[in-house]
Structure 1
Amino acid sequence: MNDRETRHKQSMQKLKERVDEKVAKATEQRGLLLVFTGNGKGKTTAAWGTVTRALGYGYKVSVVQFIKGMWECGERDRLIDDENLDVQVMATGFTWETQNRESDTQACLDVWQEAERMLADPSIYLVVLDEITYMLKFGYLDVARVKQALQHRPTEQTVIITGRNAHRDLLDMADTITEMHDTRHAFNNGLQARRGIDY
């Protein structure tokens, strides 16, 4: 074995020891609170990827879409016939299009009641609250009400929250926070969102 191969083997052995140590320390089992936030693209896409993974194992999954629900969604269209998937959408779509605080608030509260039902159901393995961060930012939904539902959900249930500017209280509660960074975005350079790629 030459020097380069020896160094590589030693490096990989050290890496294996570190990974094995972390695996040995991870002894707690329960549902998680994941937050996908930041200004970059891919938060909702990442959530739908996890939905697909959970459905692949036969788990029950529920999704509430607070902003993009009225927009085309290839992932939703592909998965909607799965008997283990329940999707609820906020009836108004993009709030910057409606520009009506009263109707947007009511639509948010209506779909939030569905979310509360999901968050209380121990048979649901994964709940996705897609773009809920905007509902808190715009004041359509009280963060204390959201926190209470999250804190009292079934122990085995995992929740994914997506959206920019996640509320600090939700970040404090989260087990995992992934922040998407927008280094460059085609839309900002005049390129239209692409069907099958962006939605």
Structure 2
Amino acid sequence: MKEIKALIDGFRNFKEEYIEDELGRYRQLAEYGPHSKILMIACCDSRADPAIITNSQAGDLMVIRNIANLVPPYDPNSNFQETQAALEFAVSYLAVEHVVVMGHSRCGGIRSLLTRLIDDADAMLPLEKWTAVAEPAAKHVLKNLAGANLDDQTCACSREALTASLANLRSYPWLLEREQKQKLQVHGWYFNLADGDLQAYDEVNKKFTSLF
């Protein structure tokens, strides 16, 4: 119960901040609705919370979180409508100006994908079917880093899957249209849990570099 109590205590602190908010930030958010200019697509992993990592405040980010921060290719008839629906809402209704896909090291979802492929097993369960979106990236890593340990393969695959998700974003016609009109920018970020480094993917030079 101590974990739940910690959440309740945290809410108590939030409620005190809410009541003492002289500028009425939260009340304004309630009145005017979502107005975020940034969509962040991040992993469900509790160690890689994008709001915490970027020190963002309520209302700053719209966030899509799923296993392994994957973006499936555009397909109105696919089984992966949740992420696609959130993308449509952010881009077409909120008119966000930036979409950031943020991966991270030691991703459990990516690790499970690699393990399944190493075991030569078919995707049968929900997690396996979802992470199959990144199968091409995983197969590429297993081929090119065949002698590496699973941790290194996982980190490499997280980066490969991130770049694949950037390509998949541009398969959404309404997102690509806004990018081509320079009304929206797409970014790929990678957070290293071990050293706290945040890297950005350079699509021209095809490499990750530290943001600062």
TM-score, scaled to structure 2: 0.33
Structure number with greater CO (CA < 8 Å, separation at least 6) is: 1
Normalising by structure 1, report the TM-score: 0.35
